[in-house]
Amino acid sequence: MIGLDTSFLVAWAIPEHRDHLTCRRLAADAVHCGRAFGLTVGILAEFIHVVTDPRRFATPLTMADATAIASFWAQATEVALLPQSASVATIWLDWQHRHRLGRKRLLDTLIAATWHGAHITEVFTLNPADFEIFGVFTFVPVPVLP
């Protein structure tokens, strides 16, 4: 299973994003190879928050369109919505403490702990630096198309 980060979903959904076509291709290739994806409800909420922000995009998505895309991902047969159990909370809080992370790293650390709790080691993200500190993931490079 491949963890999908918010940054990847944003690029997948927003046509003006420079990595839009690449992310579309990577997702389609993974599905074609029989791979599944792991998401959290928090990633979907962050996705909706970002893609509807007119300060980030010249043509942001409407709430209806963003919610429809989030629903598509949440209901896709290739996607597992990952639970955040007590063991995930333990990992999350341990990593926050061990790596001396501050308040701006809370959500990324929770996402990473959730992936780790689901035995996900491979991640599609445009921001691997957000997760490298944990030392448990490999990242699929997102090559920029010419």
- pLDDT, tens only, 88-141: 889 888 888 999 988 888 889 999 999 999 999 999 999 898 999 999 999 987
The residues, ordered by sequence, that sit 6+ positions from 126 with a Cβ below 8 Å of its Cβ are 5, 7, 8, 11, 19, 142
The confidence score (pLDDT) of residue 143 equals 61
The confidence score (pLDDT) of residue 37 equals 97
Mean pLDDT of 64-80: 96
Which domains can be identified in the chain, with CATH numbers? 2-137 (3.40.50.1010)
The confidence score (pLDDT) of residue 88 equals 86
User: Residue 67, class by beta-carbon neighbours within 10 Å (0-12 exposed, 13-18 middle, 19+ buried)?
Assistant: middle
* Spatial distance between the Cα atoms of 4 and 76, rounded to a whole number of angstroms: 13
- pLDDT, tens only, 22-69: 999 999 999 999 999 999 999 999 999 999 999 999 889 999 999 999
Instruction: Flag whether pLDDT at 84 surpasses 60.
Output: yes
The confidence score (pLDDT) of residue 140 equals 81
H or E stretch at 122: strand 122-124
* Spatial distance between the Cα atoms of 94 and 45, rounded to a whole number of angstroms: 24
The confidence score (pLDDT) of residue 124 equals 95
Six token digits for residue 120: 């996900």
